[in-house]
Each structure stands twice: as C-alpha cells, then as structure tokens.
Amino acid sequence: MAWVRLDDGFAQHPKVMAAGPLALAMQVAGLCYCNRNLTDGFIPWGIARTLLSWEVLGPDRRQYRISVTCGAHGEDVDSEYVIKQLIDAGMWEEVDGGDKIHDYLQYQPSKAKVLAERAAAQERMARRRKEMRSEDVRPNIGGTSGEVREKFKDPDPDPDPINKDHMSSPAPPSRTSASDEEYSKAFETWWADYPRKVRKREAFACWKARLREGVTAETLTRARDAYRASCERKGTEVDFVMHPATFLGKKRPFEDYLEVEPEGRDKPCLPTLSEQTKDWV
C-alpha cells in the first residue's frame, strides 16, 4: 500500500483556503492518482475531469448535484469549475496534455526513487526468503548426540557382537521431527512458499479451522500466491508481511486476494440497478 504525504497544516495553507474545500478534495484525489501511478505530479486532461464525482445519492435515493450559490445566483459544480479554482490559486499548473500539481516532487517521492526502493525491497525479501528456506532444511546436528554421529560416520563391516561399543540403541526422537510430523503435506506445501515464516503451529491451527469451514487448500494456495505476488510487486519488506496465522485467521484477510467468491461464506445479495432506481422521481 502506498501513502501520500500531507502536512498537518495542509487545510490551513493560504492557497488551499483561497481555492476552497472542493479544491482541497480534488487536490487530495490528484495526489493519490499521481502517487499510485508514479506520474511525478502530472494528471492527464481526461483523468483530471474524472477524479471526483460532484453528484451524490441522497438517503431518499434521489440524485443531488453539488452547487455553489451567491445570493440569488447559483450554479452546479463540475470538474472544470474546481480545476479553475486550483489553477487560479497556484495549486495546479496547465501543461501540455493535462495539468500538473505545483511543487509535487518537493513533498512526494519521485517515480525513480519509488522504483529503486521497491527493487531494493524485493531483493531483500528474496534474500530473506532464501535464507529461511535454507534454515528449514538445515541438518539437526544440535539435536543428535555426538555418540550417534560418531557411530554412523564410518560403518564397521565386521562388528563384534560382544563388544558393547558396537551395540547401538535407538536415538531419542528429535523434537523437530516430531513437530514436523504433525503438519499435513498440503499445509507444508503452502507454508514453503508463504513470504514469511513465523508462528507455524498457530498458522496450522488456522489452516485446519478454515478447512473445517469449507475453504479448500486450493483456495488458500491461490490466495497465498496472489498475496506473495502483491508483496513482491509493491516491495513490501518482510517485517510488514502478514504473519501466516493472521493471513489464515478467522477474519479471513486471505479473501481479499481471491478473484472469485471464497468457499464457506455466502455471497452478499446486492439490489440490481432496476431495484435501486425503481422509486426514483
């Protein structure tokens, strides 16, 4: 998720106060567009006129249009009116093909800087993911006694059955191995490619809970892949990646990354357009 920088005195800036509250709203919408699309402050002519709608649907389900009045005179507001206010106040500038937010790069990061930071974050994430996978397959040297390692280091082709040195007893079960056996194969496959490795037991408990609710492993895998791609595309650092237990939690944030309606939850019934407009006057 990207963020736009606004000074806490933004609304009281002389230019903003001169342009008025409608211009303030369009300025924020313009900043969001430029930051999201990395345009360095440029807004194409057609986009500028669709940043905001000046119509609202009232509680009586009638359409209302914002207007300005002065005494007995009044006129409807449209984007052209508000853009003129922004230009007259010095907040926007007319340029070839559209408009440009004045001093945009003085307060917002440039496209070049954002892309460089994303690339660096992706590299850090890839490196960290590689390290975590390497740690997952590290030999259990610490959990195996030196005696057992020594016995299996060089095989003896002619052991003396009377010599107690050659009599081996089963090694105590490794805690890691016993723990790993508790996880299902489907979960282990899902876990291997999730971009953050923390709270595995809790994540597995959430995984089983979602399966009991009717969500399939394929659905959770599709959501994981979409979330991982989103993190890589945005350059999200590992510390800001959702814990797997959170991603699979009862609030179901994984559903935000599904293209279709998830299993185990009824699809909301929304009124059709004809139903919404049947009582309009």
Task: Give the per-residue pLDDT at 71.
Answer: 77
Q: What is the pTM of this model?
A: 0.48
- Give the per-residue SS3 of the chain: CCCCCCCCCHHHCHHHHHHCHHHHHHHHHHHHHHHHHCCCCEEEHHHHCCCCCCEEECCCCCEEECEEEECCEEEECCHHHHHHHHHHCCCEEEECCEEEECCHHHHCCCHHHHHHHHHHHHHHHHHHHHHHHHHHCCCCCCCCCHHHHHHCCCCCCCCCCCCHHHCCCCCCCCHHHHHHCCCCHHHHHHHHCCCCCCCHHHHHHHHHHHHHCCCCHHHHHHHHHHHHHHHHHHCCCHHHCCCHHHHCCCCCHHHHHCCCCCCCCCCCCCCCHHHHHCCCC
Parts of the chain with a pLDDT under 50 = 148, 151-154, 156, 158-168, 173-180, 260-270, 272-273, 277, 281
Task: Give the per-residue pLDDT at 142.
Answer: 53
Task: Give the per-residue pLDDT at 18.
Answer: 93
Long-range contacts from 145-150, C-beta under 8 angstroms, 24+ separation: 145/171
| Partner residues linked to 126 by β-bridges | none
Task: Give the per-residue pLDDT at 270.
Answer: 46
Residue 187 near residue 179 (C-beta atoms within 8 A): no
Task: Give the per-residue pLDDT at 162.
Answer: 45
Residue 131 Cα distances to 1, 34, 177, 188, angstroms: 25, 36, 20, 17
